[in-house]
Structure 1
Amino acid sequence: MRPARPSPRPRAYGSWGLPVLYDGFGGDRLDPGKWQVYDAPNAVSHPGSPAGVHVSGGRLRLVGGLYGGKDQSAGVVSRLAQTYGRWEARIRADRGSGYSATAFLWPTRLGSPEWAEIDFAEIIDGTRRTGGLFVHHGADDRQLMKIVHVDFTRWHTVAVDWLPGRLTYWVDGKAVWTYLGPFVPSRADMHLNLRNETADGFHRLASTPMRVTMEVDWIRVFRAPRT
């Protein structure tokens, strides 16, 4: 397995300027000033246990799997929320059907002021050979998507630029999808979610390990440039 690249320092990045949130996951614990652990072990959909969240060796490890005999997600949510900007994460995922390694934006209050979700990595494929890019809109959860063919068992940098009327999705510095249309959120304040998740419709196979790990090397979040 190819090693991760060194975590970038929180330096200025083109017209985006300095990141307003950066984490290289040093030390042995999550920074509580930056993150909240996803804790919903009894949720009907997307159950999640804090037991699966670990920081070590400069990595965030989100370990989904069987906890107390029940499939549980593992995830974190940024305390920072903003409207418009750029989000980046360097990630990889172990193989394992029934778990989806995800990096997505979710509003503080879904439906107030709007229904919105932006997924810039949703790796449902148990082989990790493909990943989905999504934009969700409306109370009836209308959505658009694009599939990218990438081996996510290796390290890759995924990103999304969210600007008025425009979403641009990136993989390893290459723009792979630009969406201009009515599904682009315009009012929501969005948090970064990193989650190795199980959900309704996701099914563990006999070959699925008891625990399945998603790793995050670093993340950076930028405010939208002033115009």
Structure 2
Amino acid sequence: MRHRRGHRTAHRPRRAVGVGCAAAALTLAATAGCVGPGATADSSASARGDATHVVENGLPFGIPGDWHLVFDDEFEGTDLDLAKWSLGNPDVAYPGRVTKPVNDDELDCYDADQVAVHDGALHITAVEREQTCGGRTLPYSSGMVNTRSTFSYAFGAVEARINLPAASPGVIANWPAFWTVGANWPTGGENDVAEGLHGQLCSYFNSPSGAVGHCTDGDFTGWHTLGAEWQPGRVDYYRDGVLAATITEGVTSQPHWLMIDNAVQPKIGGPTVVPADLQVEYVRVWQH
């Protein structure tokens, strides 16, 4: 749960890892390979990393169906495309260069200077630099990009090619996430397509009924293709083209916008590593 809006901050109850991984829907604990109620796991998907895969046909990797592309960014050039993305916390009405994080548990401010595009990828880098944001002084600076004001969708396939930073072999550093969020959290729902929790790669869907999800065993540091198909009443999560889990409870239908960030919070995410560069080669969304 990324949205952190359980303690009211803005989006993303960040992984208050959900029902089934703990007794309560919003407890801060994630268990290796755990599957929450309403979620089923595909054991064949356990950590089949494909570090060399590059999608060449423009279709979702491993997600069946007839698709047409409705959003994409290949992060070419040297500047973030501000026609597609906004910087910082999307809940801040008039964001400046530095905004408060979306979850009050985060130890980082969002600084636009920590977001860059170069060498064919988006880079969101967490560093140890004290900053003040939202009335608090925090020890780290990182970044977030979102499409709240530029793009949202309801149902379809979403996918990103992501390089998750490592704290040690097979352990994801910090609290990186690729996720989607609906308006008026949690009413609109939150789909954590890929989130580093306690060093593992996890996926959760959050809604007024709670958090349901799954954490996948294996090494997902480095480059991987991570996606999800969102349908009425169902979300299927994919790891490198392999179905890893299915969620059928609490799935909402309001349009969602995209979010990517590289937060710091070792009690929820993995061990703190700074500087740590979250890299994204592309983000794509398709619909039928």
Quickly name the TM-score band, shorter chain normalised: 0.7 to 0.9
> What aligned pairs does 1:127-206 form with structure 2 within 5 A after superposition?
130-138=200-208, 142-181=210-249, 183-186=250-253, 188-199=254-265, 201-202=267-268
CA offsets 1:155-203 (integer angstroms, 9 cap, x no match): 111111111111100001111111223x0112x2101111111359448
Partner Cα distance (1:218, 1:19) in 2: 13
Q: Deviation at 1:153?
A: 2.1
Identify the match of residue 91 of structure 1 among 144, 150, 162: 162
The answer to whether structure 1 residue 218 and structure 2 residue 282 are counterparts is yes
Equivalent residues of 1:89, 1:159 under 8 A apart: yes
Partner Cα distance (1:15, 1:57) in 2: 32
Partner Cα distance (2:257, 2:105) in 1: 19
Identify the match of residue 42 of structure 1 among 100, 104, 110: 100
Matched letter for residue 27 of structure 1: G
In structure 2, do the counterparts of structure 1 residues 9 and 89 end up closer, same or farther at CA, with 3 Å as the change threshold? same
Equivalent residues of 1:16, 1:222 under 8 A apart: no
Which runs of 5 or more structure 1 residues have no equivalent in the other structure?
A: none
Query: How many residues are treated as equivalent by the alignment?
Result: 212
Partner Cα distance (2:227, 2:69) in 1: 13
1:21 corresponds in structure 2 to 71
Partner Cα distance (1:93, 1:125) in 2: 13
Matched letter for residue 142 of structure 2: S
Q: Deviation at 1:142?
A: 1.5
Q: Deviation at 1:68?
A: 2.9
Q: Deviation at 1:10?
A: 4.5
Which runs of 5 or more structure 2 residues have no equivalent in the other structure?
A: 1-49, 90-97, 132-138
1:102 corresponds in structure 2 to 177
Equivalent residues of 2:198, 2:270 under 8 A apart: no
Equivalent residues of 1:118, 1:136 under 8 A apart: yes
Equivalent residues of 2:125, 2:275 under 8 A apart: yes
3-state SS of paired residue (2:176): strand
1:53 corresponds in structure 2 to 115
So what's the TM-score if we normalise by structure 2?
0.65
Identify the match of residue 71 of structure 1 among 122, 140, 147: 140
Partner Cα distance (1:203, 1:170) in 2: 21
Matched letter for residue 149 of structure 1: D
**Structure 1 stretch 2-11 or stretch 28-37: which is displaced more?**
2-11
Equivalent residues of 1:99, 1:197 under 8 A apart: yes
So what's the TM-score if we normalise by structure 1?
0.81
Equivalent residues of 1:62, 1:196 under 8 A apart: yes
Partner Cα distance (1:56, 1:23) in 2: 13
Q: Deviation at 1:133?
A: 1.0
Matched letter for residue 223 of structure 2: W
